[in-house]
Amino acid sequence: MLFASCAAILLAGPSLLAQSDGPYKITHTSVLGGEGGWDYVVPDPTTHRIFIARGTHLMVVDEDSGKLIGQVDDIHGAHGTAIAPNYGFASSAQDKTVAMFDLKTLKVISRSPAQEDTDAALYDAPSNRVFTMNGDAASATVVDAATGKTITNIPLGGKPEYAVSAGDGKVYADIADKDEIVEVDARKATVLRRWPTAPCKQPTSLTIDSAHHRLFTGCRSGVLAVSDTTTGKVITTVPIGKGVDASGFDPSTGDIFSSCGDGTLTIIHEDTPDQYHVLQTLATPIGSRNLGVDPSTHKIFVVAADFGPIPAGGRRGPVLPGSFKLLTIERQP
């Protein structure tokens, strides 16, 4: 799922590189190594550490040095990470659980039941709860962030891909197979509203400007859809690359970031809550579609690796051992 076609993307390479001029630059590349694939990249603004899902564990990387400083083991199918005030939580898809771990020792403390295909995870401060998005189960699992115990599962009416907390007691999830946004009351654990993302199709990534009540949805149809969460309507769309998998927002700059598998990072500026323009299309390695933003340092992090030859009938080549790396992106003066 890292990218659809190397040949097609590589043919577009020169045009993508030509669009790289702009304020954001790749300032550092750190080779982290390891084998296999990866998933969500989650910076912790409090400690300036980055948690990266690597299948059987979470890599923990220091933001400043780019060095691996530890890992959270015993995660069985790692995807999402949620950082609460005292604990971390990781979705563990293979055994359908949520693993609670100590943020200091990085040791797993307990596990609570989730549902099939538990994937993205987020922490909602007003309710002090962790939510995981369970794709195949078409639900969200709700976990008490103080005890690590599962509270309930919320049927969402379709396959959720990602979710964000608005910071006001609402959680928003994109439903990839229904082309919808679902609004959840975090305390009551109930669905309040839903609205279509059209003309966006296959919504995948999600980030939010809570101050202006704007939700940004990255779509596999090649657009970022902007919704007004007060009215529950899409107000505009902006073009992005192909194969988007993550988006982030920096409130201090008003910049939105969408990382795509075609080797582009689309950077969109919020001129007003209703007007947006593409500020820059930054060339990144093919397949680097996972992204994290630390709003406290204004750094953007994407991950990538080198790939071997594409086998006959395959969509992509294998990840080359030891080639996994973290790219730090910063806005230049």
pLDDT over 50 at 72, yes or no: yes
Per-residue pLDDT at 314: 79
The domain defined by 6-331 folds into Methylamine Dehydrogenase; Chain H (2.130.10)
Per-residue pLDDT at 333: 86
pLDDT over 60 at 11, yes or no: no
If pLDDT is split at 50, 70 and 90, which confidence band does 210 have?
Answer: very high
Residue 27 to residue 137: CA distance in whole angstroms: 40
Token pair of 257, please?
Answer: 């970031």
Alpha helices in the chain (DSSP H): 6-11, 13-18
If pLDDT is split at 50, 70 and 90, which confidence band does 317 have?
Answer: confident
Question: Which residues lie below 8 Å from residue 190, measured CB to CB, with a gap of 6+?
Answer: 154, 184
pLDDT over 50 at 1, yes or no: no
Residues 233-259 have a mean pLDDT of: 97
What does 73-116 look like in DSSP terms, one character per residue?
Answer: ---SSEEEEEE-SSEEEEEETTTTEEEEEETTT--EEEEEE--T
314 vs 330, residue with greater confidence: 330
Residues 186-206 have a mean pLDDT of: 97
If pLDDT is split at 50, 70 and 90, which confidence band does 193 have?
Answer: very high
pLDDT digits (tens, 9 = 90+) for 40-53: 999 999 999 999 99
In one letter, which amino acid is 151? Answer: I
Record the pTM.
Answer: 0.92
Per-residue pLDDT at 20: 66
pLDDT digits (tens, 9 = 90+) for 127-186: 999 999 999 999 999 999 999 999 999 999 999 999 999 999 999 999 999 999 999 999
Select from 274, 328, 325 the least CA-distant residue to 54. 325
pLDDT over 90 at 279, yes or no: yes
pLDDT digits (tens, 9 = 90+) for 76-108: 999 999 999 999 999 999 999 999 999 999 999
Residues 68-72 have a mean pLDDT of: 97
If pLDDT is split at 50, 70 and 90, which confidence band does 6 have?
Answer: very low
Residues 202-220 have a mean pLDDT of: 98
Question: Which residues lie below 8 Å from residue 61, measured CB to CB, with a gap of 6+?
Answer: 30, 32, 49, 50, 52, 67, 68, 69, 326
Per-residue pLDDT at 318: 85
pLDDT over 80 at 4, yes or no: no
